[in-house]
Structure 1
Amino acid sequence: MKAAVYHGPNKLEVADVPEPSTREGTVKVQVGFNGICGTDLHEYYAGPIFIPTEPHPLTGRELPLVMGHEFSGVITEVGAGVAGWREGDRVAVEPIYKCGHCAPCRAGNYNICAQIGFHGLMSDGGMAEYTVVPTEMLHRLPDTVSLELGALVEPMSVAYHAATLGDVREGDTAMVFGAGPIGIGLWFALRGKGIDDVFVVEPSATRRASIEALGARTLDPTAVDVPGHIAEHTGERGADAVFDAAGVAPAVQTALACVGARRPMVSVAIYEKPLTTPLLNLVMNESRIQGSLCYTAADFEAVIALMASGAYDTTGWVTAIAIDDVVDEGFEALHAGEKMKVLVDPTKEN
């Protein structure tokens, strides 16, 4: 079968590899779509970062391996001991490997497991025609949710988890910094939670246009005094929650200048450079920075339910490509800012 195999920085090879076999407690999935995310880009251009160079404690795998942790598909084979799943079931995959015995796992917070692993980063993943996953990773897709949307459940769950940590309620004002895929996901999640007063802050005209086409209100930080605008809009109260999906110092500084007293800035970005952000505003307002990592099964189910209700729209920001084009039309195009979100379709001809 065809698969995108990661060997190291700037070396991703589309190769013919053996089709994987099921083991006890697993199923084989014919991949429908697999998304390329920011973590994949970091691995390709600057890795290995998360991809292990020695056997991972939970999976035993190290590079080279098949990439891909954002995917959906159809079960084609059921392994020994599997109950409740059968061939033909359509699924989205929650790709977390967890140890089950560290303090976070014992507390029910397995998304911050001390030994956390990901299918497609610490094992062979979904950027292939087939992949084999444990049944605990499976989430059933309703007939009304396409496989294309199903491949977006994982990144949209990252955003939904962050939106939940923001603790916003109907009538609140929220702000999203960055209109990439996670920023778009935050906007969808906040709207799904009944928050209508949402501003998306994004300097790129192309990205602003993409999210505006979905119905979002945007602010251009190069043309607008964003903190002043929010202060006026909220009667000097400030935003009830701000979400950083940009991962750059100017966005963080502006976000902290907008957040209201005793309210959070939720960080759901990867920061490539150290931040030297003044914290005086946090001290004076008793506001806070809240980290957000991954998702839980509850986030997956909430996103799937919202998708089934028609709350998500891929128009204008999602592109499907053939697996043979994964480097040029996928990684390189995303890195150059030519595309917003790319889904690899292993069945698509280039």
Structure 2
Amino acid sequence: MRAVIYNGREHVAVDEVPEPECGAGEVKVRVAHNGICGTDLHEYFAGPIFVPTEPHPLTGRAAPLVLGHEFSGTVTEVGDGVTGIAAGDRVAIEPVYRCDECPPCRDGHYNVCQSIGFHGLMSDGGMAEYTVVPARMVHVLPEEVSTELGALVEPMAVAYHAARLGEPGEHAVVFGAGPIGIGIWFALRGLGVPRVTVVEPSQVRRAAVESLGAEDVIDPTRVDPASHIRERTRGRGADAAYDAAGVRASVEAGLDCLAHRRNLISVAIYEHPLETSLIKLVMRESGIRGSLCYTGEDYAAVIELMARGHYDTTGWVTHVPMERVVKEGFEALRAGTEMKVLVDPVAA
């Protein structure tokens, strides 16, 4: 079968590899769509970062390996001992490997497992015609949810998890209108937050989120976010701020936007160390809190919202065949000419 192989920094190729076999407790999936994640971009242009160069403790795998952890598809085979999943089911995959033994896992927070791994980063993933996953990663999609939306469950669950962590109250501000920023905006609406401000310097991305229904979208090169938020909240500040941009300017501005004793939620990957003044945190008793991936509850909530028609892919999601993954995927995303790219392994 064909697959997208990560060999190292700026070295990704489409190659023929053996089709994986389905073992006990596993499920084989014919992949419909696989999204290119921001993490994949970091791996391609600056990695290896998360892709292991030595065998991972849970998967035993290291580069080179098949990329892809945001994907959907159709079940073609189930292994011995698998129940509740059948051939023909359309599914989304929650790609987390966890140990179930460390303190976070024992506390029920497996998304911060001390040995965490991801299908498609620490094992062969879904940017291929077929992939095999442990059965507990599988979420069966209802009829109302397309496989296109199914491939977006993973990033939208990242955003939903972050949105919940922020305890957003009446007013939230989101920095960045890329896929995760848009996902946070969708999640906040789904959680019933009445007022959401999106801060984005790119005209293309501002237009995209506005076309989805965002009513308060500002350009930080023209409008000071903190002043704007203070005016909209009568001086109080936002109940939650979210950094989905991953740059120092968004962190600093996000802290300036916060009301007292509220948090900025960081849901970005930072290629370079950031410096910020702790005095902002001290004077308002505010904080910065990290957000890592999701749980099964987040997946279920996103899938339910999708089934109710809450998510819309118009204007920000595009598809490319596997053979053009570098030029029309990684390089287009880096250049900002695309926002979210789904790789279709079976496209002509």
TM-score by length of 1: 0.98
Q: Which amino acid aligns with 2:195?
A: D
Kindly state the Cα deviation for residue 84 of structure 1 after the two structures are TM-superposed: 1.5
Aligned to 1:315: 314
Q: Which amino acid aligns with 1:192?
A: G
Task: After superposition, give the CA deviation of every residue in 1:111-137 in whole Å (9 maximum; x if it has no partner).
Answer: 000000000001100000000000000
Kindly state the Cα deviation for residue 290 of structure 1 after the two structures are TM-superposed: 1.1
Q: Which amino acid aligns with 1:126?
A: G
Kindly state the Cα deviation for residue 49 of structure 1 after the two structures are TM-superposed: 1.1
Q: Which amino acid aligns with 2:311?
A: Y
Aligned to 1:256: 255
Q: Which amino acid aligns with 1:187?
A: W
Aligned to 1:31: 31
Unaligned runs of 5+ in 1: none
Q: Which contiguous aligned blocks of 4+ residues in structure 1 show a shift greater than 3 angstroms?
A: none
2: CA distance, partners of 1:105 / 1:117: 13
Kindly state the Cα deviation for residue 47 of structure 1 after the two structures are TM-superposed: 1.3
Q: Which amino acid aligns with 1:232?
A: E
Aligned to 1:296: 295
Residues 25 and 80, structure 2, Cα contact 8 Å, conserved in 1: yes
Task: After superposition, give the CA deviation of every residue in 1:135-192 in whole Å (9 maximum; x if it has no partner).
Answer: 00011101110000000000000000000001123xx010000000000000000000
Q: Which amino acid aligns with 1:135?
A: A
Q: Which amino acid aligns with 1:78?
A: V
Kindly state the Cα deviation for residue 275 of structure 1 after the two structures are TM-superposed: 1.4
Superposition RMSD on alpha carbons, in Å? 0.8
Aligned to 1:238: 237
1: CA distance, partners of 2:293 / 2:316: 22
SS at the partner of 1:262? strand
Aligned to 1:175: 173
Kindly state the Cα deviation for residue 63 of structure 1 after the two structures are TM-superposed: 1.1
1: CA distance, partners of 2:338 / 2:301: 27
2: CA distance, partners of 1:138 / 1:52: 24
2: CA distance, partners of 1:225 / 1:272: 25
SS at the partner of 1:228? helix
Aligned to 2:160: 160
Aligned to 2:268: 269
Task: After superposition, give the CA deviation of every residue in 1:199-232 in whole Å (9 maximum; x if it has no partner).
Answer: 0000111110111110112011111122111111
SS at the partner of 2:21? coil
Q: Which amino acid aligns with 1:236?
A: G
Aligned to 2:196: 198
2: CA distance, partners of 1:271 / 1:347: 33
1: CA distance, partners of 2:267 / 2:289: 9
2: CA distance, partners of 1:58 / 1:175: 37
Alignment map for 1:107-186 (pairs within 5 Å): 107-169=107-169, 172-186=170-184
1: CA distance, partners of 2:230 / 2:78: 56
Aligned to 1:287: 286
| 1:340 pairs with 2:339 | yes
Aligned to 2:22: 22
Residues 85 and 140, structure 2, Cα contact 8 Å, conserved in 1: no
Aligned to 2:330: 331
Task: After superposition, give the CA deviation of every residue in 1:51-82 in whole Å (9 maximum; x if it has no partner).
Answer: 11111110111111100000001000111121
SS at the partner of 2:162? helix
2: CA distance, partners of 1:342 / 1:20: 25
2: CA distance, partners of 1:163 / 1:208: 20
SS at the partner of 1:145? coil
Residues 225 and 253, structure 2, Cα contact 8 Å, conserved in 1: yes
2: CA distance, partners of 1:198 / 1:271: 24
Kindly state the Cα deviation for residue 281 of structure 1 after the two structures are TM-superposed: 2.1
Aligned to 1:61: 61
2: CA distance, partners of 1:84 / 1:225: 52
SS at the partner of 1:276? coil
Kindly state the Cα deviation for residue 300 of structure 1 after the two structures are TM-superposed: 0.3
2: CA distance, partners of 1:232 / 1:6: 48
SS at the partner of 2:181? helix
2: CA distance, partners of 1:72 / 1:181: 17
| 1:74 pairs with 2:98 | no
Aligned to 1:305: 304
Unaligned runs of 5+ in 2: none
Identity %: 65
Q: 119-128 or 82-91: which moved more?
A: 82-91
Residue-pair matches, total: 347
Q: Which amino acid aligns with 1:88?
A: G
